[in-house]
Chain A
């Protein structure tokens, strides 16, 4: 865990302690379990977003994909009697395909990621609404998938605490993502492409493939999150379901130390960022702040966090230059030497 992650953890604990102090209900088992369930669902698509942000891209269609794939999933199992295991596989495949299309448009055609995924945001939302004729998709009377429901939206008592399965899923995914990003060759390539695509190419990395892979991973994980969220809400109004979720994902990634310029960020940070956002959401509810201020509170806290981070970085930099660390003077010499 790096310094940034640690300070984020401290911030979460401080905010949590303040909320718990003002309103002890924060620590009730039911409330914690519900908050964790949110963390599980939001954490998965935030990790998805982080993959794309680390290679220097952006994915804005997360919320719309969650709506479209959620609608499709429910429709498949409820109205078309598709076996849920098969439906799950189909939806994940659809997510992977969406990612592949985005990645290909970005690398092979050279359209900016913001534009590609903004179009995706509009297209998938429209498609979801058209598909259901703007009606709410949900489970009819008697429709029941006990196994699927238990797996996706259930909770298991562990030492008396009802642990939501979405958190367990997040944990597994986070561990795998951590290993991939921070220990595997592919992870090195992701960071290298994000930091300096040209230098990565000159080192023999097929940067186009790496970028496409990042979007594909993002699409697959988003599809999985879409199923969890659909099973949790059980009814989907395609006009609003999942809207702004891409912004939650980007916010969590930025809080977790990802730079929108690419090449930075850690999985632990992204998960902690998600936790902080959900704690804030919970804070708004528990402290009796009008829920209309929800986004304003989140925005303010993120802004303060980024400002504080900038301040600390600058202070640290000033401290190192003041001490005259040899490295700093070495950097100066190299700049001078190349200014011919």
Chain B
């Protein structure tokens, strides 16, 4: 392998309250394929954003072709030959393949008219298509191509910019097996041309298949680098975990009772050929772990009636119920605290009190009108109970911190009569102090007889708070764990689709 042309030395990135990258070193040689692995939130995406010039590091330096600099801009990154194939592709649906590849750099003729020279445009794209073995032409409309083909277009765009390094953020997460296979061949072809590739993935067998080296990140540190001959799923998992988790666990006051919510063969539109079955018992917190994209949020949305269930049944206290809308779920006492707090959970420029009363306004009626005195009084009670830090309940929710916003979402449901609470990432963007308060509240709720389903990508949270863990992998439950089996290793094994030994 030749000299590295790109080196990251001692790179750190701090966000308020979070260290995303902690003195990371990484070097990339010509034609090297590096797999970047680690749990959700280990800092993989941040590291790649530093490389792509999207994020400015707080410390450390980058060495490109021997030139040292403290950060890159996007333009400098492109000039240095670093191309980024994003998880969410940045393509124009309304253009054809060639138009996308050369967007902003179209060959023109006609002098000041700057008309697009379509002939030359297509001629320039054709060799790229051949190089990647694409099965579509330069004039194929993008809207008619599959996701995998979109990725190829992104890669062509990178190659047309003379990229020396192509970064791919979870390129295979939404590809079929054959498509994944072809992408692996494309990566091999890039390598043969001397182009380096860094790809982030959760699928360890892909790493074994095509990487020269795997770099493992954990909590913003590089915890290990495995050479080609050391690549084995077990070795990678061992490196990905291995920190001491603080024990957050508070056992329930009483052993869990009968099952309250039974999901039987639920199928969501994201994974039309996979079914999920699970049950949540009275007084227990069932953690739902899994990698991002494993179908957990979709399941939550289906249970809450936001999206229709494709198949399967939901039973509440043993009785089959139909949940056609969130209203129906709420009327049954099934409440969701959504992942996207700002988009789905709250009305940001409305007061705390009005946010809390929104789902239950009917019970604040006095002669058909909203009894604002009672609304305010109830909001004040909830503010005390959940320790929402705000000057008054008339404060608009948008001005609160993430933790306090989450407490307002929780307060909406706690003023009603919850039977089942579904939390989707309950503490994302929540500071440490508020986190603990939310965990305490979860336990108090289960002790009062509520059943809780907690979706979480935070390993510490899943292991530290749950009474039982269900793990999802590609749209189905890959296994359940009892407290005695709780370990990061076991959760990860199940999350990547392996069985627990």
Contacts of A196 in B (CB 8 A): 343, 346-348
Question: Which of A177-185, A235-243, A248-256 sits within the interface?
Answer: A177-185
Contacts of B364 in A (CB 8 A): 185
- Those of A183-230 within 8 Å (CB) of chain B: 183-185, 188-189, 191-192, 195-196, 198-206
Q: Is B354 an interface residue (CB 8 A)?
A: yes
Question: Which of B107-115, B154-162, B325-333 sits within the interface?
Answer: B325-333
Contacts of A133 in B (CB 8 A): none
Of B17, B347, B359, B398, which is within 8 A of A337 by CB? B17
Interface of B is mostly: mixed
Contacts of B325 in A (CB 8 A): 201, 204, 206
Give B349's nearest chain A residue, CB to CB. A195
Question: Which of A39-47, A69-77, A328-336 sits within the interface?
Answer: A328-336
Of B326, B350, B402, which is within 8 A of A201 by CB? B326
- The answer on a CB contact under 8 Å between A330 and B362 is no
Question: Which of B169-177, B423-431, B436-444 sits within the interface?
Answer: B423-431
Q: Is A338 an interface residue (CB 8 A)?
A: yes
Q: Is B306 an interface residue (CB 8 A)?
A: yes
Q: Which residue, of B348, B401, B428, has the highest number of chain A Cβ atoms within 10 A?
A: B401
Q: Which residue, of B344, B347, B362, B365, has the highest number of chain A Cβ atoms within 10 A?
A: B347
Contacts of A205 in B (CB 8 A): 327, 358-359
Contacts of B359 in A (CB 8 A): 203-205
Q: Is B485 an interface residue (CB 8 A)?
A: no
Given contacts A185-B365, A340-B41, contact A202 B338 (CB under 8 A): yes
Contacts of B405 in A (CB 8 A): 334
Q: Is A327 an interface residue (CB 8 A)?
A: yes
Contacts of A188 in B (CB 8 A): 354, 358, 361, 370
Q: How far is the CA of A183 from the CA of B368 in the complex (A)?
A: 9
CB distance from B431 to the nearest CB of A (A): 6
Given contacts A179-B369, A184-B370, A339-B15, contact A327 B343 (CB under 8 A): no
Of B343, B365, B412, which is within 8 A of A203 by CB? B412
- The answer on a CB contact under 8 Å between A337 and B429 is yes
Give B405's nearest chain A residue, CB to CB. A334
Q: How far is the CA of A189 from the CA of B361 in the complex (A)?
A: 9
Given contacts A204-B327, A331-B399, contact A340 B370 (CB under 8 A): no
Give B413's nearest chain A residue, CB to CB. A203
Give A208's nearest chain B residue, CB to CB. B325
Q: Which residue, of A188, A198, A204, A326, has the highest number of chain B Cβ atoms within 10 A?
A: A204
Q: How far is the CA of A234 from the CA of B455 in the complex (A)?
A: 66
Q: Is B395 an interface residue (CB 8 A)?
A: yes
Contacts of A340 in B (CB 8 A): 15, 18, 20, 41, 428-429
Q: Can you list, as one digit per residue, whether each of B17-49 has a CB less than 8 Å from chain A (1) or not (0)?
A: 110100000000000000000000100000000
Contacts of B399 in A (CB 8 A): 327-328, 330-331
- The answer on a CB contact under 8 Å between B428 and A199 is no
User: Total contacts A to B, CB within 8 angstroms?
Assistant: 108
Contacts of B358 in A (CB 8 A): 188, 192, 200, 203, 205
Q: Is B345 an interface residue (CB 8 A)?
A: yes
- The answer on a CB contact under 8 Å between A199 and B345 is yes
Contacts of B362 in A (CB 8 A): 185
Of A199, A327, A328, A338, which is within 8 A of B402 by CB? A338
Q: How far is the CA of A158 from the CA of B327 in the complex (A)?
A: 50
> What is the interface size of chain B, counting residues whose CB is below 8 A from a CB of the partner?
48
- The answer on a CB contact under 8 Å between B368 and A338 is no
- Those of A60-74 within 8 Å (CB) of chain B: none
Q: How far is the CA of A189 from the CA of B370 in the complex (A)?
A: 12
Q: How far is the CA of A338 from the CA of B346 in the complex (A)?
A: 15
CB distance from B133 to the nearest CB of A (A): 38
Q: How far is the CA of A336 from the CA of B362 in the complex (A)?
A: 36
CB distance from B332 to the nearest CB of A (A): 11
Give B364's nearest chain A residue, CB to CB. A185
CB distance from B306 to the nearest CB of A (A): 7
Contacts of B327 in A (CB 8 A): 204-206
Q: Is B400 an interface residue (CB 8 A)?
A: yes
Q: How far is the CA of A331 from the CA of B369 in the complex (A)?
A: 32
Q: Is B491 an interface residue (CB 8 A)?
A: no
Q: How far is the CA of A192 from the CA of B362 in the complex (A)?
A: 15
- The answer on a CB contact under 8 Å between B326 and A337 is no
Contacts of B41 in A (CB 8 A): 340
Q: Is B104 an interface residue (CB 8 A)?
A: no
Given contacts A184-B368, A337-B430, contact A202 B306 (CB under 8 A): yes
CB distance from B242 to the nearest CB of A (A): 22
Given contacts A195-B349, A202-B345, contact A334 B402 (CB under 8 A): yes
Q: How far is the CA of A4 from the CA of B487 in the complex (A)?
A: 58
Contacts of A336 in B (CB 8 A): 15-17
Q: How far is the CA of A189 from the CA of B359 in the complex (A)?
A: 10
Give A195's nearest chain B residue, CB to CB. B347
Give B350's nearest chain A residue, CB to CB. A195
Given contacts A199-B344, A202-B338, contact A331 B429 (CB under 8 A): no
Given contacts A185-B365, A203-B412, A337-B429, contact A327 B349 (CB under 8 A): no
Of B370, B395, B398, B402, which is within 8 A of A185 by CB? B370
- The answer on a CB contact under 8 Å between A337 and B16 is yes
Q: Is B391 an interface residue (CB 8 A)?
A: yes
Given contacts A199-B344, A327-B399, contact A183 B306 (CB under 8 A): no
Q: How far is the CA of A195 from the CA of B350 in the complex (A)?
A: 9
Give A196's nearest chain B residue, CB to CB. B347
Q: How far is the CA of A326 from the CA of B16 in the complex (A)?
A: 17
Closest 4 interchain pairs by CB? Answer: A338-B429, A336-B16, A204-B330, A203-B359
What are 7 A-B pairs at a CB distance below 8 A?
A191-B350, A201-B344, A203-B412, A204-B331, A205-B359, A337-B401, A338-B402
